[in-house]
Amino acid sequence: MNIVVLGLSHHSSPVELRERFAFAEAKIPDALASLRESGNVSEAVILSTCNRVEIYAATALTPDAAIPELKRFLQRWGEMPEALEVGSSRCDDQAAQRAVPTTTGDELYSFAEPQSLEHLFKVACGLDSMVLGETEILGQLKQAYALAHRHGQTGARLNKAFQRAFNVAKHVRTETNIQRGSVSVASVAVELAEKIFSSLKNREVMVLGAGDTSEKTARALLSRGACSLIIASRTHDRAQALAQELGGRAVPFGDWDAEFAKIDIVISSTAAPHHILDRAKLEPLMKLRHHRPLLLIDIAVPRDIDPEVNFLENVYLYNIDDLQAIADDYLKQRKEEIARCEAIIAEKVKGLLESKIIQPRIDTDGHGFQTLTGPA
């Protein structure tokens, strides 16, 4: 029994195509049943996320015979109108609502053993992710496996392979620095805030402007314990909508400085052509705050905050280039760990394949007694 993989991901295809072939979670059990009923595979797991759609299958067919059958299955699925539900693969991109292609060429990739197992292990470890070393994919992979297992669509081969993948991911996370540091602007901002304030509990956040990056940063700060959020934008309706969504409060843009006395963290991302906060304006505001530490995160281009404010006591200013430089440095450190991770994966794949060769399979006969048969 061989394990093969067929899929498409952010490496090989645009979001419009990935969404076309995405599987709604509620439909995956039927899709797995249909795949197995075809007689081409004995076991199967379907992983469908924003960044990838992959079929993992155990089959008695040769890879040359099995992979074309999986391609036909996936393409038939992509042509079914009911197969796609916007947002069903945990992807919020509105591109899913547009007309998209239903055929694939080089976008599809496939692997047979041992590359199929190496790919599974790399996915579990975050080595194949858009954000190198991220852990969200491991949770998604566990959910995909659990769903298939719960519906009886996995067996000895995939059970062992996926359990080994989860163990390898834990090993890599423990033995390497592949997850070290923050590699997004939002997560770097949170890391800086936690260094300055030790804890974000009871810290108050102000957002000036309501752009995408400032929203992500605000969400990240709130998720780590920030207690309240004030949003000021020249588009007050947008500020109100975002405040309602995040459980914050919107104030008129012209009144943001009146709220400054209780603020600990400011995220600024307006479209102003000039500085909206300079040293002359901030100095009296800092006196009102009794010179408590203030973190200013300026992600606007052109910059919203005059760099001169950094000379004020207890003021910590970081602009978008500062944050990106920190993120890039962490990413470089993560990339330096790839070789170590791949060495661990190669060793574990070798061990799994050797156990397949030498370990007999335990079956049950018609009377419920266990019998030994050849390798799986």
Do residues 232 and 208 touch, judged by C-beta distance below 8 A?
yes
Rounded to whole angstroms, the Cα distance separating 376 from 358 reads 10
Distances (CA, A) of 220 to 23, 111, 133, 319: 28, 37, 18, 17
Q: Which of 50, 91, 125, 341 is catalytic?
A: 50
Rounded to 5°, angle at Cα 354 from 376 and 138? 85
Residue 307 in tokens: 């760099």
Active site residue 50: yes
Question: Which residues are part of the catalytic machinery?
Answer: 50
